[in-house]
Amino acid sequence: MLYAITVSAGLETIARQELSERLGSDTGHLKILGRKPQRILFEYTGNPRELLSLRTAEHLFLILKQIPKMTRSRSSLTAFSGALSRFNFKEAFACCRQMGINTWKRMPFRVTSRLSGKRNFRRVDLQRVVERALIERGWYSGSSKSALDIWAEVHGDDGYISIKLSSNDMAQRPYKQAHIPASLKPTLAYSMVRLSRPHPEDIFLDAMCGAGTILLERAFIKRYRYLIGGDVSTEALDATVTNFGRQHQPRQFFHWDAQNLPLGSNTVDKIVCNLPFGETIGDVSELTRLYRQCLTEYERVLRPRGRMVLLTSQNTLLDDTLKQRRSLRVTQKLTVDVRGMRAWMSVVCPKTR
């Protein structure tokens, strides 16, 4: 069967690595066909429920039909109606049932359509063509929870007709019971944790933990020695405590200022942190001082073979701050999308002496 996962912009490489690691491209069950912006296409012959374990993925789709050579012309729309009029849904429905999605001969459905690039037709035109083709098969349009979620998309030269297999929990995570403004997406948090190279003996720190998303993604990924989180906001700490509940021990949370950490020197193995983007700190000099002081503290508590992963939209500021700390070096950097804003994940390590 042909599947696709969608991911946040910039996470395509990490998503591909996770696919191979979790599902084993060497077993013969998985064959990755291509990486496109915010999308990975692959064939998988195993149980589709296993695909829901992917933590970089925003959504999971079963691709019914991939339509090549799409043009700007409205005549391209006939390829969608033609593909659906001839399509045999037997295997697709079997896959849906494995995922716990009920199917009937006369299916209720709803259509979501998406377009990118310049076209001589609108998104709603694509939606209506697909709806009409399915109604002609005896299906009926509905908005109930039992309706099959059909997606029709055109990106670049390719068109796709898919069934969405995942719920919102895949991207948003059931543990996110408490939220704070500008809380980090779990898929981004997981990707940062992956870049830290998790180890079972890690003492892991997020000194600006917000709602605890980074710490929770580290808790779910594999064993660890200790989790430490802190924040200057009591509201954020309350959200962290709520989201953790009684799970994931040992761990400890602190109300602190990350510019002055009450931790011993060389005591932490990994630091993963979403640094302030500057929206709440309008003064440039104050933000510069904050970055300088935090990096000083992070370097102090980090062990000589430790590793930091830092996320920020203030790329130049972070680079300038790191250049002043000659004992640190950036070993990897990814450009990612955060709430529609360009940001950077930087992997920072102490220089070996």
Q: pLDDT tens for residues 59-82?
A: 999 999 999 999 999 999 999 999
Domain identity same for 185 and 112 = no
**Residue that terminates a domain, selected from 127, 154, 169:** 169
Which CATH number belongs to the domain containing residue 28 in this structure?
Answer: 3.30.2130.30
Strands (E), the chain: 2-6, 30-36, 39-44, 59-67, 108-115, 140-141, 148-155, 158-164, 203-206, 226-231, 251-255, 268-274, 302-312, 328-338, 341-350
pLDDT at position 280: 58
Give yes or no for residue 293 having a pLDDT over 70.
yes
Which pLDDT tens digit goes with each residue over 183-214?
Answer: 899 999 999 999 999 999 999 999 999 999 99
Mean pLDDT of 283-305: 94
Domain identity same for 6 and 126 = yes
Which pLDDT tens digit goes with each residue over 125-155?
Answer: 999 999 999 999 999 988 777 799 999 999 9
Domain identity same for 163 and 278 = no
Collapsing DSSP to helix, strand or coil, 261 comes out as: coil
Domain identity same for 128 and 259 = no
Domain identity same for 152 and 177 = no
Number of domains in the chain: 2
pLDDT at position 124: 96
